[in-house]
Amino acid sequence: LDTEKEQHPPRIRQRRLAFGVWSAQDLLDQIHRSYPGPVILIMLQFPTPFASTTHNNTTSTSCDDVNARNSQLPVDQESGFMVTSSLLETARILLQKKRQALAPCSGGILLQSNCEDVAVTMRQMAEQVGFSCMTTPQSKKEDTNVTSLALPQRTRNWIVVGGQRAIGPGWSAEPLLAKHGRTETEVACK
């Protein structure tokens, strides 16, 4: 085994498009070390959700089925969840790198999840490392009906345990990416 390769992912070649198999943290670290230009946008879209606490104090990782529990998925946001404070700090540094070249504009990060508690957690983590929320064209309005069948079971459970809602300023009611730029998950959620 070549331990040098295991410790450091291969250098990213400077192209317009590349496919790689790295953790999100390793990828951003590699970009930070080797990419000379400005980074304008980082998108963290639909990470595998961590287990949620339900009104019965049980856990679930499914966005829709309160009884589902896949032991291969992250237990919580501190144990194996893709989005970490370290990842967000690296993203913040990358987006500020070569900032003067982008004046007056700086880079941004797009966080997306189809699980409301995961979205709220990612936003809180991002704000803790220095990101601020942009104004969205149409803020998401609150659905006060906790039993609404329009809400996934995971969201209804989140509301019941008193979780902060993803509503109001900074939460978009409409997709932010052009139609052809949306992921399969975003299209399926619409």
**117-133: average pLDDT:** 94
Arithmetic mean of pLDDT, 34-63: 73
Greatest mean pLDDT range, 4-8, 14-18, 130-134, 137-141: 130-134
pLDDT at res. 104 = 54
Tell me what the pLDDT averaged over the chain comes to.
77
Sorting pLDDT into bands at 50, 70 and 90, what band is 62? Answer: very low
Question: How much is the pLDDT for 55?
Answer: 47
Instruction: Express each pLDDT in 16-45 by its tens digit.
Output: 776 778 899 999 999 999 888 888 899 998
Determine the pLDDT at residue 1.
40
Percent of the chain at pLDDT above 70? Answer: 69
| pLDDT surpassing 70 at residue 108 | yes
Long-range contacts of 122-129 (CB under 8 A, 24+ apart): 122/44, 122/47, 122/83, 123/166, 123/170, 124/164, 125/77, 125/83, 125/84, 125/85, 125/88, 126/88, 128/85, 129/85, 129/88, 129/89, 129/92
- Give yes or no for a contact between 90 and 81, defined as CB atoms under 8 angstroms apart: no
C-alpha dist (Å) from residue 9 to 4, 12, 28, 39, 93? 9, 9, 11, 19, 20
Residue 88: which of 53, 35, 48, 132 has the closest Cα? 132
pLDDT tens-digit readout, 146-157: 556 678 888 888
What percent of the chain has pLDDT above 90? 27
pLDDT for the residue numbered 143: 57
Residue 89 has pLDDT above 90, yes or no: yes
pLDDT higher at 45 or 138: 45
